[in-house]
């Protein structure tokens, strides 16, 4: 299961970073509406969440005392694109370093997040889905801000083109 978790995290990181690289700074910081976070704040939040959850993963609560979650949704002096991407990379590094040390025998160990006990398996799945949710926000906002950008998922109207070779390959093996 850990290899699948690692693969999913890698997949979502790549999707997000493929979208982020196409955005200029204006789009990165653009706030589309009063109650809508700019991509910059989604990046800041994912970074803070990953760092907090995956640092000292097996030995301390996943909500670290030095984390100020509310500040992850505020742009402050010094929040440049470079500084936010540095935080992003730091969060991902915490995740990747920890995942590299875990084995499948760790999956049933108990950890805590905000004082709530859960298995490593549950915490890992929760983190993957949380990250995927926010990567989806990044992709959606990137599409809204730059509708002409290349598709990094299956483009509209291309499902059959993408699926047909797969379906033909799999049905040929069943005959």
The whole domain housing 42 covers 2-172
The number of folded domains in the chain is 1
- Mean pLDDT, range 130-155, rounded to an integer: 90
- Mean pLDDT, range 120-143, rounded to an integer: 97
Banded model confidence at residue 162, pLDDT cuts 50, 70, 90: confident
| Mean pLDDT taken over the chain | 92
Radius of gyration of the chain (CA): 18
- Mean pLDDT, range 71-89, rounded to an integer: 96
Q: Is the dihedral of CA 112, 118, 124, 130 positive or negative?
A: negative
- In the predicted structure, residue 51 carries a pLDDT above the cut 90: yes
- Mean pLDDT, range 43-56, rounded to an integer: 98
d(CA 140, CA 86): 22
CA max distance for the chain = 64
Contact 81, 94 (CB under 8 A): no
d(CA 51, CA 89): 9
- Which whole-number Å values give the CA distances from 112 to 63, 90, 92, 126, in the listed order? 8, 21, 20, 12
What's the CATH code of the domain at 46?
1.20.120.450
Per DSSP, what are the bridge partners of residue 117? 112
- Which whole-number Å values give the CA distances from 61 to 88, 95, 114, 115, 159, in the listed order? 21, 15, 6, 7, 43
Banded model confidence at residue 166, pLDDT cuts 50, 70, 90: low
- In the predicted structure, residue 175 carries a pLDDT above the cut 60: no
> Which positions ≥6 away from 25 have C-beta within 8 Å?
81
- In the predicted structure, residue 9 carries a pLDDT above the cut 60: yes
């Amino acid at each position: 299961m850990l290899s699948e978790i690692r693969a999913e995290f890698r997949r979502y990181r790549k999707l997000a970073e493929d979208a982020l690289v196409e955005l200029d700074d204006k789009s990165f910081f653009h706030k589309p509406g009063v109650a809508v976070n700019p991509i910059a704040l989604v990046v800041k939040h994912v970074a803070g969440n990953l760092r907090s959850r995956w640092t000292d993963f097996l030995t301390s609560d996943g909500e670290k005392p030095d984390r100020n979650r509310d500040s992850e949704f505020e742009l402050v002096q010094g929040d440049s694109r470079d500084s936010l991407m540095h935080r992003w990379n730091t969060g991902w590094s915490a995740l990747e370093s920890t995942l590299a040390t875990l084995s499948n025998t760790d999956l049933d160990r108990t950890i805590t997040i905000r004082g709530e006990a859960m298995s490593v398996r549950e915490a890992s799945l929760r983190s993957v889905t949380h990250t995927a949710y926010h990567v989806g926000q990044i992709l959606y906002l990137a599409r809204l801000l730059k509708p002409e950008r290349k598709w990094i998922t299956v483009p509209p109207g291309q499902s059959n083109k993408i699926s047909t070779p797969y379906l033909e390959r799999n049905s040929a093996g069943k005959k």
